Amino acid sequence: MSQTVLYPLRFEPICQYRLWGGRRLASLLAAPLPGDGPVGEAWILSDREDHPSRVADGPLKGQTIAQLLERFPQQLMGRLAGRFRRFPLLLKFLDARESLSVQVHPADTDTGLLPPGETGKTEGWVVLEAGPKSRIYAGLAPGTTEAGLRRALANGTVADQLASVNPKPGDAVFIPAGTVHSLGGDIVVFEVQENSDVTFRLYDWGHVDAKTAQPRPLQIDQALACIGFGKCADCLVSPVRETTGSADRERLFDCRHFRLSRVRGDSPFTVGAPGVPSVLVCTEGSGRIELDGGAAVVGKGDVFLLPAEAGACTFHPSCAVNVLEVGIPE
């Protein structure tokens, strides 16, 4: 890597207290969870001013992704350089021991509902762990109207107005902006989303925040203004097989904001592409990323940003692995 300014960049997770969270992310992350309270989210790649991801090791240790974008725009982003004000995706692990709020995110076109500098928020979930009580809500039940949803909010029967599934590990759920959604019941997921932190809560299951002894605020009118009534899409994604063999690759998400493929196997496979950045998230197993002049060791729960100048690299599993590769459409 002596001729390469940037190397595969590993980032430290940023753990977030959530009243609906648990402690199961300890099995995904190398570092111990903070404190002993519920941790609902680990932000594993974040270009947010309030929660910036920092490089975990190497010559650039401690640098934020925003600093890297400023110092090395071409090396990091390649053909995408100059297109984004900040890194356009936010990646997380979620542990929902209880149900998170029934919520909606605005679309990029909902300009009147977006704070200055924010975008809309389309996202996708990949289920990593689930049990018999796990539930994902995504979308409205057929025939749901705004008036009917308002009545359900008033009498506490919101779940009856939502499409839902009992998920299993490996399931993928695509949640376009404007989709009512929630999840819970001891479920752990990986989340990819637009780099936005705008959420409007419709309903919160009667939760009371132990830190404040108060219920969390709702934003019912804003949420209802975002919802695409009449759109009752199937929330589960059907994977599209891209390659077969000892390392199987399948496409889970492909929208204008992000692409995501899952690779499973125990033989070497290619990751990254010339001229554009990619993000790797290892959810099972371990291995190493090899590129000209060096290598990076990858463990379960690690997230690596492959800079555009690294081009295509080879992932060498040390055992059976499950790797999610996230890309930004050109």
Residue 63 has a pLDDT of: 96
CATH number, position 302: 2.60.120.10
Written in H, E and C, the secondary structure of the chain is CCCCCCCCEEECCEEEEEEEEECHHHHCCCCCCCCCCCEEEEEEECECCCCECEECCCCCCCCEHHHHHHHCHHHHHHHHCCCCCCCCEEEEEEEECCCCCEEECCCCCCHHHCCCCCCCCCEEEEEEECCCCCEEEEEECCCCCHHHHHHHHHHCCHHHHEEEECCCCCCEEEECCCCCEEEECCEEEEEEEECCCCCEEEECCCCCECCCCECCCCCHHHHHHHCCCCCCCCCECCCEEEECCCEEEEEEEECCCCEEEEEEECCCEEECECCECEEEEEEECCEEEEECCEEEEECCCCEEEECHHHCCEEEEECCCEEEEEEECCC
Show the low-confidence residues of the chain (pLDDT under 70).
1-5, 232-233, 244, 293
**Does residue 76 share a domain with residue 176?**
yes
**Does residue 81 share a domain with residue 22?**
yes
Residue 3 has a pLDDT of: 44
Q: With respect to residue 2, please indicate whether it lies within any of the assigned structural domains.
A: no
**Does residue 253 share a domain with residue 157?**
no
Q: With respect to residue 234, please indicate whether it lies within any of the assigned structural domains.
A: no
**Does residue 188 share a domain with residue 41?**
yes
Residue 233 has a pLDDT of: 63
Has this prediction a pTM greater than 0.85?
A: yes
**Does residue 154 share a domain with residue 112?**
yes
**Does residue 155 share a domain with residue 24?**
yes
Residue 137 has a pLDDT of: 96
**Does residue 147 share a domain with residue 122?**
yes
Domain that holds residue 292: 240-327
**Does residue 178 share a domain with residue 103?**
yes
**Does residue 222 share a domain with residue 274?**
no
Picking from 226, 252, 273, the residue at the C-terminal end of a domain is 226
**Does residue 200 share a domain with residue 55?**
yes
**Does residue 213 share a domain with residue 142?**
yes
Q: With respect to residue 136, please indicate whether it lies within any of the assigned structural domains.
A: yes
Q: With respect to residue 67, please indicate whether it lies within any of the assigned structural domains.
A: yes
Query: For residue range 147-188, what is the model confidence (pLDDT) as tens digits?
Result: 999 999 999 999 999 999 999 999 999 999 999 999 999 999
Residue 232 has a pLDDT of: 62
Residue 1 has a pLDDT of: 38
Count of domains for the chain: 2
**Does residue 304 share a domain with residue 185?**
no
